[in-house]
Structure 1
Amino acid sequence: MSFDPTAVETITVDSYGTLVDPAAVETALETAIDAEHAQSISDQWRSRSLMYTMVSNFTDSYQPFYDMNRDALRVSLADHGVDLSSATIEDILSAYHDLDPFEDVRRGLEAVTDAGYEVFVLSNGNPAMLESMVETAALESVLSGTISAHEIRTFKPDADIYRHAAAQTETPLESIAHVAGPTFDVQGSMHAGMQGVWINRTDGLWDPFAAEPDLTVETFDEFATELGV
């Protein structure tokens, strides 16, 4: 399926890695541990955190994303023989409340909202995380609201979270374009019935088993152009 801008009424966007750059979290980790372990722990932390959210969808073991992330970090540190105090771990996690937006985000979304589209964050992040993200990144003017996995206690890419977004925005699934950096999120939105837009800033590879995204762009500026605004 190719992207149909004429069908789009509402836009949902992922948060971390799509709107805001999580590099500060990696920097906070690197300042707390030796360089020898930093990259491998960071990679394991990220992959384990995502694994926890997906497994929890099938095992009725939901907990807020912030807590999932804490558990994933603790296990990754322990797996590498690194012992940090609880206070230091909380300091690392707190970097999620102080992330900068990618440089194209505000400009691209201003063009979209000026054209009359409503834009909502749709995220695995719990409400407190999303509130601080929007405030710190100063995105209030280009967002109509946030929708959290915590509201229905299930994580992406479960189809229920995309259906929940459709209900919250009062928009049919097929009239929503969901923009995300993580490929599994784009796949989940398409599986649920949305148009999936992959924002591929790093020239990454698409998952070979999956149907191609409805649209691939590098920036929100390019997405605005594809919408015709």
Structure 2
Amino acid sequence: MFDADRVSAVTFDSYSTLVDVDSVEQALADRVDDPTPVSRLWRARSLEYTLVANHVDAYQPFYEMNRDALTYALDVHDVDVSEAERDDILATYHELDVFEDVRESIERLHDAGYPCHVVSNGNPEMLDSMVEHAGIGDLLDGVVSAHEVETFKPAAELYEYAAEQVGEPTEELTHVSALWLDVQGATHAGLQGVWLNRENGPWEPFDGEPTLEVPSIRAFADRLLGG
């Protein structure tokens, strides 16, 4: 059960939580007849690569993981693009669409005295552009990248490291994410894990429930602030 009284700071995932990874379909649509399956495979493989990397010591920055995943997705769907075109598609990750409730909700938390941080698999350059594009740099107290520990989610090491950077114990942090494995990783590490279920989908049928489920970041802010 979610306990607002023990929240000293809030951390947010980035991709699919603050910015919409599905917006890459526009860049794909200029080169692919049916961009949706390519986009979905790209995203799935990108996450799968990070999970495998944690176990076989094959770390590389997330941007490079994303590049490899895009290459694979294009190859599977027999899409022939030049290296320059592939890089143009990949570059859309620097300017993904921002969900409409992001700035308003984080501003409410910030103004209420809750330090807000981003904790992401993205490497620092990706996160710098994401924060700038989202227009939330003035509201954040910090950004933590998996690159700093060369370990991806859902490894406990990343959340524990994030807690050190935030300066609060894990049990006083609440992590908000649209990614189920991120929520599970956070709760496993001792944080309260909030599942941002924008798509109104089912929760994964193993390893317990999220601490809290919300349809939007606005709804999370309402719950934390008692509005």
SS in 1 for 2:2: coil
Write the distance in 2 (CA, Å) between the matches of 1:26 and 1:49.
Answer: 15
Write the distance in 1 (CA, Å) between the matches of 2:160 and 2:212.
Answer: 20
2:201 maps to 1:196: no
2:14 maps to 1:15: yes
In structure 1, which of residues 55, 59, 63 is the aligned counterpart of residue 60 of structure 2? 63
Structure-1 residue corresponding to 2:2: 3
**What's the CA shift for 1:228?**
2.2
SS in 2 for 1:209: coil
Indicate the larger mover: 200-209 or 18-27. Answer: 18-27
Write the distance in 1 (CA, Å) between the matches of 2:56 and 2:162.
Answer: 23
Once the two structures are superposed, the pairs formed by residues 39-188 of structure 1 within 5 Å of their partners are 39-188=36-185
**What's the CA shift for 1:100?**
2.7
* 2:153 alignment partner AA: K
**What's the CA shift for 1:209?**
0.7
**What's the CA shift for 1:80?**
1.9
Structure 2: 5+ residue stretches without partners: none
**What's the CA shift for 1:140?**
1.2
2:173 maps to 1:213: no
Write the distance in 1 (CA, Å) between the matches of 2:40 and 2:21.
Answer: 13
**What's the CA shift for 1:23?**
2.9
> What TM-score do you get using the length of structure 1 for normalisation?
0.96
**What's the CA shift for 1:210?**
2.4
SS in 2 for 1:150: helix
* 2:62 alignment partner AA: F
Post-superposition, which runs of at least 4 consecutive aligned residues in structure 1 deviate over 2 A? none
Write the distance in 1 (CA, Å) between the matches of 2:96 and 2:8.
Answer: 29
RMSD: 1.0
* 1:17 alignment partner AA: S
User: Equivalent pairs: percent with the same residue?
Assistant: 52
Structure-2 residue corresponding to 1:31: 30
> What TM-score do you get using the length of structure 2 for normalisation?
0.97
SS in 1 for 2:138: helix
Write the distance in 1 (CA, Å) between the matches of 2:37 and 2:217.
Answer: 30
Write the distance in 2 (CA, Å) between the matches of 1:72 and 1:23.
Answer: 15
Query: Per-residue displacement from partner, 1:1-58 (whole Å, max 9, x unpaired)?
Result: x0000000011000011011223312111211122xx222211111111100000000
Query: Per-residue displacement from partner, 1:131-158 (whole Å, max 9, x unpaired)?
Result: 0001111111221111000000010001
SS in 2 for 1:142: coil
SS in 1 for 2:20: coil
Query: Per-residue displacement from partner, 1:174-228 (whole Å, max 9, x unpaired)?
Result: 0000000011100000000000001111101100112111111111221111112
Write the distance in 1 (CA, Å) between the matches of 2:97 and 2:214.
Answer: 20
* 1:7 alignment partner AA: R
The count of corresponding residues between Structure 1 and Structure 2 is: 226
Write the distance in 1 (CA, Å) between the matches of 2:96 and 2:85.
Answer: 18
Structure 1: 5+ residue stretches without partners: none
